[in-house]
Amino acid sequence: MPDPVSDIPDPAGALDTPGRELLAALVSIPSPSGEEAEAAARLAEFFGDHGREAWIDDAGNVRVPGDDSVLLTSHVDTVPGEIPVRVGDGDEELGVDGPVLWGRGSVDATGPLAAMAVAAVETGASFVGVVGEETDSRGARHLIEDRDAPETVINGEPSGWDAITLGYRGIVGGEYAVSTPAGHGARPDANAIDHATAWWERVRAVVAEENGDAEPGGFDTITATAASIDGGLSNDGSAVTASMAARFRVPPSEAPDSVCATVEDCLDAGEIEWRESIPSHADSPRSTPATALRRGIRAAGGEPTHLQKTGTADANLYADAWDVPVATYGPGDSAFDHAPDERLPLAEFDRAETVLTTACEQLID
């Protein structure tokens, strides 16, 4: 396979370790959801070069069997959007003097993915690079159906090298649709577009009431987001139609089904078809993977902290299906997730490699 690293501007000469080289190579290969094959092949090649069996499963996941005391897993895919890949020497905004790798996925989540690959090679831990996390989590869903549960899971997402993520909100998504007979625009009757917008206003009001005085968008709140809306006269002119895709983030205090019921209570016309559903996840700071990661952070000179994130991750699916301890960890500042200036200090990547290796050694021992 051609070496994409050779084309990366690197005035600092910083791509000088196997982990940094793998990270840069993967960031250089575009891998938006649905187009992960080339990056997956490069990842599998890395394991083969280091004496580990690696194969691509039917979903496109990179599977590396190993010691199932811990499964290291992160996602190969990224969101769309090109960011020229380069290494900068220092970053005033980040307060970093050393080299910084710029590129789509450097933070979410190719940085965690590459750090986990190195730790898996060093320790013999099981590893899977999954596909589709940014869209429908098809890789994680296939993995759950296709293999036995490991003893513990460390899921790769950016937390910062000295922090551990213990919880994510869940998500439920659906498509609202309504149709009304076509009529003259001078008539006062509400048409489908009126019904759709009125329904959404009621939903937003009920969600705000449910959340009470809590800060909007916080971990313990419901968040309602309109993902898309479409409407107008049907092709044959007989009806006015409207549709809206909506997604709801669900805190641990709520079940997805209860949020669905609340939303359905707001209907006065039309219907909603529920599709995507992932439960929330909140694990104990005393779980075995969290404890091992804390020890790794301290051994690397850090003081660990714990996070709860308002988004959703594959960690939720693993915890729900396998009923094993799950902690999420990885280098990078999640403020740069999906951002046009996504970048990762390489010293932070190195520390995360060390933390993960130390944690795996403890879990496997």
Element counts in the chain: helices (H) and strands (E): 9, 16
Which of the following is catalytic: 77, 134, 283, 350? 77
Q: What is the DSSP letter of 259?
A: H
77 is catalytic: yes
- Cite the beta strand spans of the chain per DSSP E: 55-56, 62-64, 67-75, 86-91, 96-102, 125-130, 153-156, 163-168, 170-181, 223-233, 239-250, 271-278, 281-282, 305-309, 326-329, 343-345
* Cβ atoms of residues 198 and 190 within 8 Å: yes
* Cβ atoms of residues 216 and 204 within 8 Å: no
The closest of 62, 52, 51 to 26, measured between CA atoms, is 62
From CA 278, how far away is CA 313, in angstroms rounded? 9
Which of the following is catalytic: 10, 108, 133, 162? 133
185 three-class SS: coil
* Cβ atoms of residues 158 and 107 within 8 Å: yes
From CA 365, how far away is CA 349, in angstroms rounded? 24
133 is catalytic: yes
Tokens representing 261 are: 């019921």
Tokens 């090109």 correspond to 82
From CA 355, how far away is CA 191, in angstroms rounded? 58
The closest of 109, 284, 110, 259 to 170, measured between CA atoms, is 259
234 three-class SS: coil
Catalytic residues: 77, 133
